[in-house]
A = this chain, B = another copy of it.
Amino acid sequence: MSAAAPADLAPGNRAAVLTKPHTIRIEEFPVPTPGEREVLVEVRSVGVCGSDVHYYEDGRIGGFVVRAPLVLGHEASGVVVDHGRSTHGLRPGTLVAIEPGVPCRGCTQCRAGRYNLCPEVHFLATPPVNGAFARYLAVPADFCYPVPSSLSADAAALIEPLSVGVWACRKAAISLGDQVLITGAGPIGLLTALAARAAGAVPTICDINPGRLARAAKLGLGLAADVRRVRLAELGPYDAFIECTGDLDVPGDGMRALKPAGRAVLVGMSAADELRLPLSVLQARELVVTGSFRYANTYPAAIELAASGAVPVTDLVDAIFPLDRAEQALQATRSDPSLIKVVVHPCEEADQ
């Protein structure tokens, strides 16, 4: 019953709030009451994403501007501690991966199954919606996915970025035996490459940072190219190309490495907006270019990949911070490219 909060809840909801660029404060809010179809989750692990760092540094990402104090964090997992009236099937104590974008469920996009394109989506840590750097979060029950007991809270949090990779692979129509070029060996590039490998494809991952290339190799991604030394267009040919750097010179170069009928998926975002592509290559090879925006219907597959070990998500975790050090977690992610994934444990701060 949600009417009375369970006895063992902490009395307040401590959260890490971005009050202005470069400033995070720990504040305490009332514990939210779950709505009829919601559950209350005690947040256990939250990955730090590049978008969190952008908000922290610039107070904005493109058209999304932080105009009021904002709780960051959207790669989250936690344990169900309370629930609304109509949330059959999610019992207290269950560890869940939280899908952070809740769509309107009624628009053309939602009804067509493309709920990631819903114009009225509420997405955690996207202004003005508060995120998951908090002890408690109320979430629609159907956006909470129980994970097998073999998965840790950190693994469950990383289902979110793995979903980005799974979605990119779907958009790229990756299938058995495909040769796939992936540019960028950060967390999204690595998870995309691991998802592609899990789909029976052969990924080649590229970066200019030797440490990240070494990390890719350590993750078992045998084909890695240092693009300080090799030009993309000389690689391949590839069946698919997934761009994860956001560098606007890369899409055109990668396209030249594609086979006829090859697919290019642009995942990496850029503040500048002018993509330049070689029209004649696009036409003569009938390449298919698409952007990828978050994901839809990926959580079950991503959980399966993590649970089977096909994608060893926790191997990406390089540092863990308690809630009251969330700001250091953001700074570490920004400044140290050797840290692939930093996570925040909101429940651990109380213990310190």
Interface residues of A (CB under 8 A from B): 37, 62, 105-117, 119, 140, 142, 166, 169-171, 175-178, 195, 198-200, 202, 248, 259-261, 266, 269-270, 273-280, 282-293, 296-297, 300-305, 308, 310
Question: Which residues on B sit within 8 Å (CB–CB) of A166?
Answer: 176-177
Decide if the interface of chain A is mainly helix, strand, loop or mixed: mixed
Contact indicator A176/B195 (Cβ below 8 Å): yes
Q: Which residue of B lies closest to A202 (CB)?
A: B304
Contact of A300 among B177, B198, B300 (CB under 8 A): B177
Minimum CB–CB distance from A96 to chain B (whole Å) comes to 15
Q: A117-B261, A200-B199, A305-B200 are in contact. Are A111 and B296 (CB under 8 A)?
A: yes
CA distance A295 to B279 in the complex (A): 17
CA distance A175 to B289 in the complex (A): 21
Contact indicator B113/A286 (Cβ below 8 Å): no
Contact indicator B199/A199 (Cβ below 8 Å): yes
Question: Which residues on B sit within 8 Å (CB–CB) of A62?
Answer: 280
CA distance A37 to B107 in the complex (A): 13
Question: Which residues on B sit within 8 Å (CB–CB) of A304?
Answer: 176-177, 200, 202
Contact indicator A297/B248 (Cβ below 8 Å): no
Q: A109-B261, A276-B274 are in contact. Are A176 and B117 (CB under 8 A)?
A: no
Contact indicator A286/B293 (Cβ below 8 Å): yes
